């Protein structure tokens, strides 16, 4: 086996063990089209190098990656707590030697999330965690306060805590506009390979690969747990993420947003009504360009499409909405709404 393929297999094993502790050998063999025996040789080499642990035998065998650094810091939350000091004294030294772009992303995410705890959580205590593995950096910030989704719901008088998640994905949302821009969670969720929030009964996650979103009910917890995961070899940068949502390379303003439409649904309900559309459209006027991502949504109703692509367009002609990942049915509904616009507006938008 050539050295390059060996390195790829070792990387695949290390990155996959945390997600598949028992079946990673078979998964790796299938992925690379080699025998289990060939993969097991790599496994035993990684064990001999002190990079993984093996527990149990045969069918009950489990693999665990040994962390390069593992830190948990209990914190007393008060106005005097400084997020940059916690980063500089505790987290930064454990990440010595990683790529500068990854270090910058970790600093941005960690300090933004800890600042949120200080200013918003109403918690007297928090924990900061770092688990640095050969193929994964995982940071977490945990508080025991009112819960992020609950607080947003009450502050903005939303009908459901799930609406808080939809609003967070849009960006420019804060319960304290005097001290915050509401951009921290939006940009942090796009910088990391995986970003997740667990609060009360709701678990919200975003994966950079495929720009996937997840919303699930979980066992309730008190407070909020935020996790951020990134590959130490990632080539993503803070600036490229900022640039993606600005109007130009020379303009660092938050001009564009990317909204997952499926988060406007409750459960498996269909998106058919104007009230659903209005909930989705809330605060769109703060942006110049909106990407509406219909991934995971196969159909929409006429009223829903009309409210977004005719009524909102007439009221906000300077705001551009770009639908992506649309089915043939959604395309027809959008074109139908825009056809009405063409017959009554001298400056119609283009059809999909």
219 within a domain of the structure (yes/no): yes
Residue 183 · residue 169 · CB < 8 Å: no
249 within a domain of the structure (yes/no): no
172 within a domain of the structure (yes/no): yes
The CA distance from 345 to 304, in Å, is: 20
pLDDT of residue 178: 65
pLDDT of residue 247: 75
Return the percent helix, strand and coil in the chain, to nearest 5. Answer: 45, 25, 30
Give me 253's structure tokens. 């303003």
pLDDT of residue 305: 97
pLDDT of residue 352: 53
76 with 202, same domain?
Answer: yes
- Cross-strand partners of 54: 63
184 with 229, same domain?
Answer: yes
340 with 275, same domain?
Answer: yes
The Cβ of residue 306 has, within 10 Å, a number of other Cβ atoms equal to 20
The Cβ of residue 220 has, within 10 Å, a number of other Cβ atoms equal to 11
pLDDT of residue 348: 44
**CB-count exposure of residue 320 (10 Å: 0-12, 13-18, 19+):** middle
219 with 135, same domain?
Answer: yes
Tens of pLDDT along the chain (352 residues) come to: 677 888 899 989 988 887 888 899 999 999 999 999 999 999 999 999 988 999 888 777 889 999 999 999 999 999 999 999 999 999 999 999 999 999 999 999 999 999 999 999 999 999 999 999 988 999 999 999 999 999 999 999 998 888 999 999 998 887 776 666 678 899 999 999 999 999 988 999 999 887 778 788 778 889 999 999 999 999 999 999 999 988 755 555 789 999 999 999 988 899 999 999 999 999 999 999 999 999 999 999 999 999 999 999 999 999 999 999 999 999 999 999 998 744 444 444 444 5
The CA distance from 110 to 84, in Å, is: 9
pLDDT of residue 346: 44
80 with 217, same domain?
Answer: yes
What residues contact 320, with CB distance under 8 A and at least 6 apart? 288, 289, 290, 349
122 within a domain of the structure (yes/no): yes
* Overall number of domains in the chain: 3
């Amino acid at each position: 086996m050539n050295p390059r393929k060996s390195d790829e297999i070792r990387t695949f094993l290390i990155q996959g063990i945390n997600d598949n502790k028992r079946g990673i050998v078979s998964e790796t063999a299938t992925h690379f089209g080699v025998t289990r025996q060939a993969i097991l040789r790599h496994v035993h080499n990684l064990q001999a190098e002190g990079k993984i642990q093996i527990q149990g035998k045969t069918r009950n065998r489990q693999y665990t990656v040994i962390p390069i650094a593992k830190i948990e810091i209990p914190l007393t939350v008060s106005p005097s707590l400084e997020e940059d000091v916690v980063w500089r004294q505790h987290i930064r030294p454990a990440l010595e030697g990683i790529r500068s772009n990854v270090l910058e992303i970790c600093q941005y995410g960690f300090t933004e999330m800890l600042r949120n705890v200080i200013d918003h959580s109403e918690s007297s205590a928090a924990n900061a965690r770092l688990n640095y593995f050969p193929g994964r950096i995982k940071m977490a910030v945990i508080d025991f306060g009112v819960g992020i989704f609950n607080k947003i719901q009450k502050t903005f008088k939303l009908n459901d805590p799930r609406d808080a998640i939809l609003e967070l994905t849009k960006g420019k949302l804060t319960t304290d506009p005097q001290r915050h821009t509401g951009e921290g969670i939006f940009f942090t969720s796009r910088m990391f390979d995986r970003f997740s929030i667990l609060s009360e009964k709701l678990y919200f996650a975003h994966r950079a690969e495929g720009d996937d979103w997840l919303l699930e009910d979980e066992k309730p917890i008190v407070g909020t747990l935020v996790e951020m995961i990134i590959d130490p070899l990632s080539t993503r940068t803070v600036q490229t993420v900022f640039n993606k949502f600005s109007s130009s390379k020379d303009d660092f303003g938050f001009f564009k947003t990317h909204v997952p439409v499926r988060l406007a649904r409750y459960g498996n309900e269909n998106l058919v009504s104007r009230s659903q559309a209005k909930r989705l459209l809330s605060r769109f006027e703060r942006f110049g360009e909106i990407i509406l991502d219909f991934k995971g949504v196969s159909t929409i109703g006429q009223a829903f499409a009309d409210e977004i692509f005719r009524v909102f367009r007439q009221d906000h002609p300077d705001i551009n909405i770009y639908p992506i990942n649309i089915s043939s049915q959604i395309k027809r509904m959008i074109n139908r709404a825009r056809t009405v616009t063409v017959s009554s507006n001298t400056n119609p938008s283009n059809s999909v």
